[in-house]
Amino acid sequence: MKDTKGNIKNAALKLFNDKGVCSITTNHISEEMGISPGNLYYHYKNKESIIREIHRDMIGDFRDTFSFSSEKNIADAFVNMLLAHAEIYYKYRFFYLDLPALLRRDKALATMHARNISTLIPLIDGMAESIIKSSKPSYKYDSKDLKNVLQSGIVLTEFWLCHLFSAGIEVNEKTVKGFIHNYFTMIKPYLSSSTSDEIEKRIKKELK
């Protein structure tokens, strides 16, 4: 029974990613699974409840990425975190491609997402601040300006897939990683030249 519920969720994720969440109904999911709609409803009340379960998995995946913070080389840890985030954005791409519509349609999901984002943002910002402090920049920067930059970074990552789609750019594993260079460009002025060069070299290697 547990496997059936998990398989329904996985089938839904694939369909949502391939065809778009608005095009998929619970009937499509049950057909993909080869089960009756009644069997699906035994495990999930509706499509929204499946999406919420997928969202829980996604947030769990994001939380796992912060284990990189234990790496000795903070520049590598920072790039590894962004690469891991790119994989998650692609794995759950339907969510970010239809983010405003999904949150508008399901208030419970909107509340979940806002609550989880509020806990993830300090972790992401903390990693960025750690690499800035460790690089020992040659000038004193305004912490308020940095906070605004990091907030812009969150906007960039949350809506990067929407940007790709609206610009007519194919959303694939390579293009999703594009936000990494943009995010780095935003914090580059706050880094020492040696740290900046180290990160840029690694990013170019990963994005080639």
Q: For residues 164 and 175, is the Cβ–Cβ distance under 8 A?
A: yes
* pLDDT tens digits for range 97-152: 999 999 999 999 999 999 999 998 888 888 788 888 777 766 677 778 888 888 89
**Paired tokens of 14:** 């694939």
Domain boundaries, the chain: 2-43, 51-207
Instruction: Name the CATH superfamily, with its identifier, for domain 2-43.
Output: Homeodomain-like (1.10.10.60)
**What secondary structure letter does DSSP report for 72?**
S
Residue (of 168, 16, 36) closest to 102 by Cα position? 16
Domain spanning 51-207, CATH architecture: Orthogonal Bundle (1.10)
Alpha helices, H only, 136-177: 143-158, 160-166, 173-176
Instruction: For residues 202 and 206, give the distance between their C-alpha atoms in angstroms, rounded to a whole number.
Output: 6
Phi/psi for 176 (5° steps) reads: -60, -35
**Topology agreement, domain 2-43 and domain 51-207:** no
Instruction: Write down the pTM of the prediction.
Output: 0.90
Phi-psi region of 71 (alpha: psi -120 to 50; beta: other; left: phi over 0): beta
- Rg (the chain; Cα; Å): 19
* pLDDT tens digits for range 3-28: 899 999 999 999 999 999 999 999 99
